A and B are shown apart, each in its own frame.
Chain A
C-alpha cells in the first residue's frame, strides 16, 4: 500500500547505544518530518526536510541527527541514546513545503525504549 513506511516498529536500546530509524515514502512527496509523541506532550517536531537536500531543526532536535538520503528516504539517528529519548517516533511526509490541503501522511510509528 502507498504511504509512509517506518522501520523498525519496536526497539529497546541500552543507554549510550546508537541506532537509526528509517523512513521511506512512495507518494513522491517533497517534504518529510520526524516527530516524537510523549504522554502529556503531544507531537513535537524533531527535524524536517522541506525538500531533497535540505534539513532543518524543529522544536526538540537535541540528541538527534537526520539524513535526507534521497527524495523517498529520511532517516533519524540517535548517536548516544538516553532514557529521555524513550518515546514513539513518527515520520510524516507532505506534497510540498507550501501550504497544502492534504496535510501530512504519517507512518505507523517506531516505539523506542531506552533502558
Chain B
C-alpha cells in the first residue's frame, strides 16, 4: 500500500465551481502536510502547508487535515482556468527531516 493515495482524476469543472481534491495516507507519523501545484511541463510549486489537524486558508484555497481519519483535502473556491494543473498532496514525519512522500497527483481542468 502506498503511504499517500490520491484521487486519480482527471477532474473537469466549469469556471467558478468549488473544487475538492482529496488524499488519504497510511503513515500515522505524518505531522506535516503540503499541497503542490504542477503546471504542464513544469516543476511542482508549493501551494499550501499545514501542521497536524485543522484548516488553513489562503485566498481561494483551503487545506484541511483530519488526522483521525488520515484524510487530506484541498478546496478551491471560485475556480479559474488558471487553476488548471496537477495537484499533488504530500506528507512528512516530524522525525524524518524534510523528506516528503507524495501522492500520485490529480489533474484538474477548469473550463471557461
Q: Which chain B positions have C-beta within 8 A of A41?
A: 104
Q: Is the interface of B mostly helix, strand, loop or mixed?
A: loop
Compute the total of residue contacts between A and B using a CB distance below 8 Å.
59
Measured CB to CB, the nearest residue on chain B to A108 is B43
Measured CB to CB, the nearest residue on chain A to B100 is A104
Q: Is the interface of A mostly helix, strand, loop or mixed?
A: loop
B51 to chain A, nearest CB (A): 9
By the criterion CB–CB under 8 Å, are A42 and B102 in contact?
A: yes
Instruction: Pick the contact of A107: B6, B36, B43, B98 (CB < 8 A).
Output: B43
Q: Number of residues in B with C-beta < 8 Å to the partner?
A: 24
Which of B41, B94, B97 has the largest number of chain A CB atoms within 10 A?
A: B97
Which of B46, B49, B88, B92 has the largest number of chain A CB atoms within 10 A?
A: B46
* A71-89 vs B, Cβ < 8 Å mask (1 yes, 0 no): 0000000000000000000
Complex CA distance for A39 and B15, rounded to whole angstroms: 27
A106 contacts partner chain B, Cβ-Cβ < 8 Å: yes
By the criterion CB–CB under 8 Å, are B44 and A90 in contact?
A: yes
Q: Number of residues in A with C-beta < 8 Å to the partner?
A: 28
Complex CA distance for A83 and B85, rounded to whole angstroms: 28
Complex CA distance for A102 and B98, rounded to whole angstroms: 10
Q: Which chain A positions have C-beta within 8 A of B32?
A: 99
* A82-114 vs B, Cβ < 8 Å mask (1 yes, 0 no): 000000001010101111111111111100000
Known: A42-B104, A43-B102. A97 touches B46 (CB 8 A): no
A40 contacts partner chain B, Cβ-Cβ < 8 Å: yes
* A33-66 vs B, Cβ < 8 Å mask (1 yes, 0 no): 0000000111111001010000000100000000
Complex CA distance for A98 and B97, rounded to whole angstroms: 5
Known: A99-B32, A108-B42. A94 touches B98 (CB 8 A): yes
- Which A residues are closer than 8 A to B by beta carbons? 4, 31, 40-45, 48, 50, 58, 90, 92, 94, 96-109
What are 9 A-to-B residue pairs whose CB atoms are below 8 Å?
A: A40-B104, A42-B104, A43-B88, A45-B99, A45-B100, A98-B98, A102-B46, A103-B100, A104-B100
